[in-house]
Amino acid sequence: MADLDGRVALVTGASRGLGEGVARALAARGAAVMLVARDGAAAEAVARSIAAAGGRAEAMACDVSDYAAVGRVVDRTRAALGGLDILVNNAGVIEPIAEIATSDPAEWARSISINLVGAYNGVRAVLPGMLSGGGGTIVNVSSGAAYRPLEGWSAYCAGKAGLAMLTRAIALEASGRGIRAFGFSPGTIDTEMQAKIRASGINPISRIPRSELSPVEHAVRGLVYLCTPEADDLAGQDVAMRDDAFRRRIGLG
Ligand code: NAP
């Protein structure tokens, strides 16, 4: 696969799960990486471990729903790491897990402010610099829930559906100016989010046994592939790990 030497990536939600794996893999491929999560100490621990393995990484505490905070991260990334070529909008929450009729309006709005507005905040903060610098890659971590309603997940499904449209809107406005925007559905992967889902028992996804979840490494491989020129022809699309053609393309048979 292509070499990411000299590239700079910002990965949100990089303290654990898919985001941690992607940050580690991008750094192993030569990219300098800025890791953010609300828990800055947890993101910092991952960054230190990347650095100990010979990679280049920094971390900051940031709630992606706060545009000013995202702007500070983008400024710091450019100043400390020398640019910003790749944005991975991975931060996300499954809560509130509740049926619409009994859901808490504030919690519902909070979900949208992280899963959808948080991703917009990242795009809004990086895009002017990417456009003036000749291009960049944006990966919005989506979900099958963007296309399929699931009981108890109205906020999550609506946020991810909005995110799928945001990916298309970025592609429409900026693909002719060097921006490669992708949606990426990782499949059902074995992370803390799935542990919360299992504990809820609220819908068919929550009843998938842990042993049937996909390893995080497979989704990491798929997402990092999108950050390379090999994925140029997929730009503008929602790419899903459950797609057999894509799995073959990244060597997962
Ligand atoms: P996870 O283990 O719960 O990790 C979520 C990450 O996002 C953590 O680093 C968390 O750190 C961070 N985060 C949450 N809210 C944030 C906020 N407001 N600002 C900044 N960071 C925030 O989840 P995961 O399974 O790795 O999920 C990663 C992405 O994949 C999400 O977008 C999720 O919707 C998507 N996805 C997952 C699955 C699955 O099966 N796991 C399936 C489809 C899609 P802090 O809590 O410290 O902020």
Q: Distance between CA atoms of 53 and 28, rounded to whole angstroms?
A: 8
Find the mean pLDDT for residues 10-17.
Answer: 98
User: What is 8-247's CATH number?
Assistant: 3.40.50.720
Mean pLDDT for the chain? 97
- Per-residue pLDDT band for 41 (boundaries 50, 70, 90) equals very high
- Going through 54-193 in order, the beta strands assigned E by DSSP cover 56-61, 86-89, 136-141, 179-185
Between the CA of 69 and the centroid of ligand 1 the distance, in Å, is 18
Name the residue among 132, 128, 133, 139 with its Cα closest to residue 12.
139
Does the annotation count 120 as an active-site position? no
- Report whether pLDDT(145) > 80: yes
- Report whether pLDDT(172) > 90: yes
Give the CA distances from residue 103 to residues 19, 99, 155, 162, 238, in Å, rounded to whole numbers and listed in that order. 28, 6, 9, 19, 29
Q: Pocket around ligand 1: residues whose beta carbon is below 6 Å from it?
A: 12-19, 36-39, 42, 62-65, 90-93, 114, 118, 141, 143, 186, 188-189, 191-194
For 89-144, the pLDDT digits (tens) are: 999 999 999 999 999 999 999 999 999 999 999 999 999 999 999 999 999 999 99
Beta-sheet strand order (sheet of 238-240)? 56-61, 32-37, 8-12, 86-89, 136-141, 179-185, 238-240
- Per-residue pLDDT band for 2 (boundaries 50, 70, 90) equals very low
Q: Which residue puts its alpha carbon closest to atom 10 of ligand 1? A: 13
pTM over 0.85: yes
Q: Distance between CA atoms of 191 and 12, rounded to whole angstroms?
A: 16
pLDDT at 253: 80
Between the CA of 65 and the centroid of ligand 1 the distance, in Å, is 13
Mutation to probe ligand 1, out of 10, 18, 166 (largest number of atoms < 8 A from CB): 18
DSSP letter assigned to residue 83: -
For 19-29, the pLDDT digits (tens) are: 999 999 999 99
- Per-residue pLDDT band for 77 (boundaries 50, 70, 90) equals very high
pLDDT at 1: 43
